[in-house]
Structures are given as C-alpha cells and as structure tokens.
Chains A and B, each alone.
Chain A
Amino acid sequence: MFKKKTDVHALIMEQIDDVKKCLVLFDGFMRAATTPGVNHETLCSLRDGVSEAENVADTSLRTMICSLNKSYYLPSTMESLIAIATSCDKIANKCESIANLIVIYKFQFTAESYKEFNKIYDIINKQFELLEEAISMLFSNMSQLQKDPSILDEIRALESEIDAIEMQLSERIFNMNAELAFKMQFFDLVRSLCDVSDIIEDIADKIQIMLISRKA
C-alpha cells in the first residue's frame, strides 16, 4: 500500500542547488559579457560552464521525478512538485539560452547598460534565494509558510522591480543611435533575462496554490 520512502526533499533541494550553480555561473558569464573588451574565447569557455551546469540540473530533475514514484506523496503533491521542479529547470534552460545567444551574436554591451544589468542579476539572485527558502519551508515548515506567505509576496515585489527596470532599459534601447537589428537583439536579451524573474515569480505562485489547496 505504502511504497518505500525516498528522500524527495533532499533530491529536490539538490536539483535547486544545481540550478543555483548554473545561475551563479551565468551571473559570472554575464558580468564578463558586460565587461568592455572581453575576450570571445573566455566568453565561450564561460558559456560551456553554464551549459554543463544546465545538463547537471536536467539530470537532477529526472532523478527527482523518478524518485517521486517511490514516495508517500499524494498525486496532487507529486504534480505540484514536478511543476515546481520543471519550472526551476526552465531557469537553467533560460540561462543557457541567453549565454548561447550572446556568444552567437558576438554581442557588445553598451557602457550605460552595465548598471541596469547588474541590478537585474542582483534582484534575480535575491529572488532565487527567497525561492530556495520557500521550497525548503514547504518540506520542513509548511504550516508556517501557510500562516505567513510574505516570502512569496517578496518574490513578487522583486519581479515588479525588474519589470520597471526592463521598461526603462527597453525605452533606452530604442532611443539609442544604433541599427534596428542591434536594438532588436539587445531588446531580446533584456527580455530573456527578465523572463528568469518571471519564471521565479511563477514558481512562487505555484507554491501559494499548493499551500491554499492544503488549507483545511
């Protein structure tokens, strides 16, 4: 009736840790990419690091999903956990995809965009830390998270900050004295980077739905 217990908690945290490693490597890649006069080969090497980290995160996701079958969890919980883990994996996918685009485009960032870009990474990192804490609380202290879901509200508030920065940066991109193709590429990169924040916010929403459905 009850199948053998597997430590899904440890496996999901391991997968999130792998996504975090990918995010850290991506952060390093982006800081290098926005540094004036950066070597293309250095960027390729950093991009490869992001790709490897993304592959590791993929493997962790598959292991976690397989382990759910052997767990005590209710089917609805399994579905929610798979949705959360798959969305976390999308963060790693997005990082790899942006890194690939920058390398393929051989994109040169403008000096004025550094500040905003750094701000975006910082906010994304902060969001991800909060997300990690929320997911951990789901397993260890769900009732506390049900009582006080402010951590999830904070993730959403940070996403709104990124939206505002995205808007400012997009306006500045299209006011630049540059070719439309460059502007479109730049805009595409900014939007893709901000998508990472959207994904994190989306996961926060999924957690909140999970909490509400468990409220007796």
Chain B
Amino acid sequence: MFIYLLLAAGLFMGWSLGTNDAANAFGTAVATRVVKYRTAIIIIAIMVVLGAAVAGHHNIGKLSSIATNNEVVASIDEVEAAVESDTLNDLRLKSALKAFIIFACSGITVFGMSYLKFPVSANQSITGAVIGWGLCYADYSSPEILKSNLTEILEFMSTWLINPLGAAMISFVLVFFVKKYIEKRLTSMQSYDRIVKFGYIVAGAFSAYSIGQNSSASVTAFYYDATGLGANILTDPRLTAIIGGVAIAIGVLTFSKRVMMTVGGSIAEISQVDGFVVIIASALTVVLMGELMGIPVSTSQSVVGAVVGAGLVNGVKSVNFGVFKRIAIAWVSSPTVAGILTYLVALATKSYFAA
C-alpha cells in the first residue's frame, strides 16, 4: 500500500504539469476568447490522454532506460538477484522511493525557480534529476560506464539546441507557406475569423496531444517495470503512459485557468494567424522529438523557437534576440539545479539505497 502511495508523487507532478502546460495549447485562444475555457479544457483533457495512449509508451521506454542507466530503476541483473534472494519487495520499495526523491527534487526546483521568477521546464527538471542521481552512483573507474553516461548527458543537452532550432525551422516553413498561399485567400473578414477559430482549435488539440505524448512519460516512467519481473509498480508501458496522461488531464480540468489566462495574455502580441501556426509548429516539434529521440523535451523551448521562426519570415530585424538571454537561463538552469539537488540527496541517502 505504501508503495502505491509513493506513486502519488508522480501523479501530483502530472497534475501540476497539467495545470501549467495547458496554457501552451490553448492559452492564447482562451485569453483572447476565441475558444471558451470549458471547451478548451475538455479538448485538452481528451487529447492529452489520447497522446499518452497512442505514443506515450515510446517515451516511457526511453526514459525508463535512462532511469535504469542512472540507477533510479533497477537493472535486470539487480532484479534477478532480488528474486533469488527473495528481496523483491525491498527492491520495489526502493525503486518507488527513488522515484519519489526524483519528483520531490524536481518539484522543489520548479517551485523554487518559479518563486524566483525564472522560467522553468518541469520535464527537463525531471530528466536533470535522474541524471543527477546517476552521477552520484556512476562507477567512474569504468571508462565504459563513464562514456555511456557522458553520451546520455550530451544527448540530453543536445535537445536544448535541437528542440528550439527544429521548432524555429518548422515554424518558419509553415508561416512562410501560410503567408504565401493561404493568407491571400483570406479576403473577407468572415473567412479570416473562421480560419483563425478553426486553426486555434486544431492547433490546441494537436498541442494537447503532444503534451500527452511528451509529458506522460515524465510522470510515470520511473514506476514502470521494464524487466517484467515485478520490480516496480506498473508493468504495462501503454497503461503507464495513460496513467500519466490522466494525471495531467486532471490537472488541466481542475486548476489550469489562472495559468492559461496569464500565459495566453503575455504571448497574445503575435498576430492571430501566426499564433496558431506557431502552436502547430511547436507541437509538431515535440512530437518529432519524442519519436526521434524519445526524451521528454521542454514545450516552452519549442514555443520560443517557433515564435522566432515565425518572426524570421518577416526578416531578422523583427526578432527580439534579447529574449534569448532569459530563455537560455531557463534551458540550462532547471535541469542543472534539479540535477545538483538530486545529486546531494542521493549522496545523503547512499548508505540506504546502496545497501
């Protein structure tokens, strides 16, 4: 029973992700009253669960593998040894406790940095925390393990560049296409308004789908047992992703209005047509990143990249590159702070977990 209570930490993280990430999908549309709040949250909740059910398990597998490499989730050898020595229950408890620590450290990071008014990424904080834990347990005497850990860290850090750059490129192409071929056809106010309304709903739904695919893994991957020997609470990857998706959906349905209105209001300065194209580009990038790399990426990074890409269609001068300074801090700081915090907790608890 206690083990299942520890799952609550992941579900709570999912709930808080839902309260925040819903803003990326429908923030602008709701803030500008293009879509009603109630309609928006129903669409998001359905699409988040759908995204988790259809594609979330890809990220579960990858993140679970990262967690295993970083000693957060028990490896097959450890599980087999536990089965032999009849200590599987202890192993399950330890795995759930580790997941709890990861969520606690990343949660504290997100809360603390938000309190200090730094933009943060919950997904990246969680992955950063996992790597932090792994760094504490890494066997630095083994060049192979060291190499594997370094490759993983570099792969993770590469998303800081690939994600926004990819979003900028996709957004540039989409906005260019829309300006050249679609905008010309919007000759009347009716057609313009209809396209904008329809566009925001499609973009919001797709963005919610990408949140389901991307974030459901961050919430429950550490409770997933990849060995199939009962070393963790959840055994089916699709069900694991769906549980994460439902937690996010509950967050969206219960407590997303305030954040949605705040975020939506602040990014509403871009034009209405560009607005929904940017959301589509950002969601597309997140989905592609999930398919190609399997690492949960920051949706904020992809939104920023997409906004820049849309701005570049109107020329380099129309882009405010000064904004990158603040964003760059967020990209690096959330996972780094979460990683350092988790490293310290891992160090303090090593005698218990290594026993």
A and B associate in one complex: yes
Could you tell me how many residues of chain B have their Cβ less than 8 Å away from some Cβ of chain A?
Answer: 23
When C-beta atoms are compared, the residue in chain A nearest to B187 turns out to be A143
Q: Could you say which of B98-106, B146-154, B269-277, B286-294 contacts chain A?
A: B269-277
Q: How large is the interface on A (under 10, 10 to 19, 20 to 34, 35 or more residues)?
A: 10 to 19
Q: Which residues of A lie under 8 Å from residue B184 when comparing CB positions?
A: 143
B330 in contact (CB, < 8 A): no
Q: Cα distance A2–B197 when bound, in Å?
A: 9
Within B192-209, the residues touching A (CB, 8 Å) are: 192-194, 196-197, 201
Q: Could you say which of B31-39, B112-120, B124-132, B300-308 contacts chain A?
A: B31-39
Q: Which residue in A141, A143, A214 is a CB contact (below 8 Å) of B272?
A: A214
Q: Cα distance A43–B189 when bound, in Å?
A: 42
Q: Are A142 and B189 neighbours in the complex by a CB distance under 8 Å?
A: yes
Contact flags (1/0) for A1-27 with B, using CB distance below 8 Å? 110000001000000000000000000
Q: Which residues of B lie under 8 Å from residue A39 when comparing CB positions?
A: none
Q: Are B33 and A75 neighbours in the complex by a CB distance under 8 Å?
A: yes
Q: Are A72 and B197 neighbours in the complex by a CB distance under 8 Å?
A: yes
Q: Are B193 and A142 neighbours in the complex by a CB distance under 8 Å?
A: no
When C-beta atoms are compared, the residue in chain B nearest to A144 turns out to be B187
Q: Cα distance A141–B201 when bound, in Å?
A: 25
Q: Are B272 and A1 neighbours in the complex by a CB distance under 8 Å?
A: no
Q: Which residues of B lie under 8 Å from residue A142 when comparing CB positions?
A: 186-189, 192
Contact flags (1/0) for A127-156 with B, using CB distance below 8 Å? 000000000001111111000000000000
B190 in contact (CB, < 8 A): yes
Which residue numbers of A lie inside 8 Å of B, CB to CB?
Answer: 1-2, 9, 72-77, 138-144, 214-216
A sample of 20 more A-B contacts (CB under 8 A), given A74-B33, A74-B196, is A1-B39, A9-B190, A72-B190, A73-B190, A73-B193, A74-B32, A74-B34, A74-B197, A75-B32, A75-B33, A75-B34, A76-B33, A140-B188, A141-B187, A142-B187, A142-B192, A214-B189, A215-B271, A216-B178, A216-B179
